[in-house]
Amino acid sequence: MKKYISIIILILVLIGIQLVTQVTETAFYLTQLTMTSYYSLLIIGLCLVMGYAGQISLGHAGFFAIGGYTSAVLTTYNLRPLFEKGHGLIIFLANRGLLVHAENLYGETLLYVNPWLACITAITITVIISFLIGIPVLKLKGHYLAMATLGFGIIIFRIVLATEIFGEADGISDVPSFPLLPGVAVNGDFENRILNYYIACGLLILGILVLQNLINSRVGRALRAIHGSEDAANSMGINTSRYKLYTFVLSAVFAAIAGIFLTHYNGGIGPSEAGVMKSVRYVAIVAIGGMASLWGALIMGVILNFMSLRGLLGSYDDAIFGVILIFIMLFAPEGLLRLHIWQKLKKMITK
Amino acid sequence: MSLLEIKNITKRFGGLQAVDNVSFSVTAKTIKAVIGPNGAGKTTLFNLISGNIPTNGGEVYFNNQPIHGLRPHQIAQHGISRTFQNIKLFPGMSALENVMVGCHPKSKAGFLAGMLRLPSTWKEEKKIRKRALDLLDLLDIAELAQKEATSLAFGQQRAIEFARALASEPSLLLLDEPAAGLNIYETAEVARLITKIQQRGITVLLVEHDMSLVMDISDEIVVLSFGQKIAEDHPAAIQQNKEVIQIYLGEDDA
């Protein structure tokens, strides 16, 4: 039960934040907090790969973009012409109620893929791509792995930037809301702001819960063992390459889910989400949080993403993340939370 | 009945013949030692058996099944467990957790089960914990369970590594220089542990430098020199073997 205390505290803090914004009439903060929660979902997934399995990925913005863009394209691409031509697959989907009708300003009926089907498709595509990328790439170690995943990130960025269906430099807009349950939908509507804050927080808590369980399980132990000594882990009967691959895929799915939900929340997605600097930022945040610390990554993810989204880091945003990364590597390679600043201060005072 | 059978196993590193056409077998429930001077190829031989490095030829049979060419984790799953010369415990994990990792081949909760914390996973976890504690108890280090493994004394780390290797319920235990870096008291303690392990019905193959340890506990000894097997016999016979004495003491003194 002790393990769940921090999760209960997290839930109380998140509810507290919402109540404070309500009382102080600063509910506009909830918009950035919602976005922050989605980014943090990606970050805890990356934390599993970096801190526990001991791998690095500079391509996670790519997985975020794969999720977001797939969902965006499927829910905004008009299938009406194909439907009228009698395309087999489209008719099949329509007959099973997997397509939704909408009407544009001119009164034409349009036909889109149901957001649920789009979401599942996006996750499936992410799983397939991360699997195919992971098999060769995870054979690499250290800088080589970093470079290979960086290359993957750049490829995804260039593809979304240069492909017409992905809206090129403009990205995709008018992504519809994602109805999860009757009356509960992911969208950026003003009246849904509080609801969406709780959807995002709920997803994040679910993510933390699932990962915390995993870390404390047989698989989690195996991952930490791989991080500690791959040779020894192998000799303990752990299929190290398979475990690394599955962890990579799992964290890619976390990134994709973050991308899908944020795209529906924002009503669109642009190529900057796939940018390499985004990936660097995610890695920096995990490092600041202390690599093998899910909670450190979560707290730092929330604080830094929120500051960045509020514009508190100014126009040097990306540069600041670069500087933070350098400082962390130099002075606190185990993360800010493990500096034990309080203990050091106490020591200084007692001296 | 021989549990492990090694046939003409060979390993080259560039121009160096590290292990040259070595064959021998290990009888079930006995202790067999591989000795030899520095650079004789003992550790290489071990790494070949456990699959940590690929062979350049030869065959290894375990329970009459071929295991050469399998990957290390597959060999471990067959029931061969090992320790390392330079103790490779997992840092950042407690002694107990290290031993719990050893239970890996005998448990099965995967990613999904771990994430959802299913009742079956929970039960399995309890069993693993109990087994690990029992093993620490067996090796008389139960009080170290919650200590960070890599922060402990060398001898204690060695004992944890033994417990970790035993956790997978192996039928063959490979010990790579179990007395390396230990003082005479600790070495005597290791000897006691090894006999204790054998009494539990586990076959032991060890590589060792320390003659006193080997002579005391082994049922049979294989002597390697420059990658070749030069003798294989009972300890008493090995002590009388001219060639072995020559290798250890030098030609002129023999």
Distance from CA of A304 to the nearest CA of B (A): 27
Residue of A206, A236, A242 to mutate when probing chain B, most B C-beta within 10 A: A236
Alpha-carbon distance values, A172 to A79, A209, A266, A289, B33 (Å)? 16, 32, 11, 33, 69
CB atoms within 10 A of CB A114: 18
Can you give the C-alpha Rg of chain B in angstroms?
A: 19
Q: Which residues are CB-neighbours of A127 under 8 A, at least 6 positions away? A: A249, A252, A253
Q: What is the dihedral of CA A171, A176, A179, A185, to 10 degrees?
A: 80
List, for residues B15-56, the tens digit of each pLDDT value: 888 999 999 999 999 999 999 888 888 889 999 999 999 999
B chain contacts of residue A222, beta-carbon cutoff 8 Å: 101, 104
List, for residues B54-87, the tens digit of each pLDDT value: 999 999 999 999 998 899 999 999 999 999 988 8
Average pLDDT, chain B: 89
Alpha-carbon distance values, A338 to A10, A296, A327, A332 (Å)? 20, 9, 14, 8
Distance between CA A41 and CA A34 in Å, rounded?
11
CA angle B210, B211, B217 (to 5 degrees): 100
* 3-state SS string for A107-143: CCEEEEECHHHHHHHHHHHHHHHHHHHHHHHCCCCHH
Per-residue pLDDT at A183: 84
| CATH numeric code, B1-79+170-254 | 3.40.50.300
- Pick from B157, B217, B147: nearest CA to B181: B157
Per-residue pLDDT at B8: 93
Interface confidence, given as ipTM, is 0.88
| pLDDT confidence tier of residue B189, bands split at 50, 70 and 90 | confident
A chain contacts of residue B84, beta-carbon cutoff 8 Å: 231-232, 235
Per-residue pLDDT at A64: 97
| pLDDT confidence tier of residue B254, bands split at 50, 70 and 90 | very low
Q: How many CA atoms lie within 13 A of A231 on its CB side?
A: 13
A chain contacts of residue B92, beta-carbon cutoff 8 Å: 224, 227-228, 292
Do residue B84 and residue A231 have CB atoms under 8 angstroms apart? Answer: yes
Distance between CA B212 and CA B31 in Å, rounded?
15
Q: Which residues of chain A have pLDDT under 70?
A: 1-2, 335-342, 351
Q: Concatenated DSSP letters for A174-187?
A: -PPPEEEETTEEE-
Q: Which residues are CB-neighbours of A226 under 8 A, at least 6 positions away? A: A53, A54, A233, A238, A240, A243, A244
CB atoms within 10 A of CB A201: 22
Q: What percentage of chain A exceeds 90 in pLDDT?
A: 55
Domain ranges of chain B: 1-79+170-254, 88-169
Give the residue on B whose Cα is nearest the Cα of A221. B101
Sign of the alpha-carbon dihedral angle for A313, A61, A67, A273: positive
Domains identified in chain A and CATH numbers: 31-75+114-350 (1.10.3470)
pLDDT higher than 60, residue B253: no
- Pick from B21, B112, B98, B25: nearest CA to B61: B25
Distance between CA B57 and CA B238 in Å, rounded?
28
A chain contacts of residue B50, beta-carbon cutoff 8 Å: 235
Residue A9: burial class (beta carbons within 10 Å; 0-12, 13-18, 19+): exposed
Per-residue pLDDT at B6: 93
B22, B8 contact by CB (below 8 A): yes
Q: Return the CATH class of domain B88-169.
A: alpha beta
Do residue A218 and residue B50 have CB atoms under 8 angstroms apart? Answer: no
Sign of the alpha-carbon dihedral angle for B48, B53, B55, B56: negative
Average pLDDT, chain A: 89
Q: Which residues are CB-neighbours of B99 under 8 A, at least 6 positions away? A: B132, B135, B136, B160, B163, B164, B167
Distance of CA A28 to the CA centre of its chain: 22
Common-topology check for domains B1-79+170-254 and B88-169: yes
Task: Read off the tokens for B148.
Answer: 């960070």
One-letter amino acid at A130 equals S
pTM over 0.80: yes
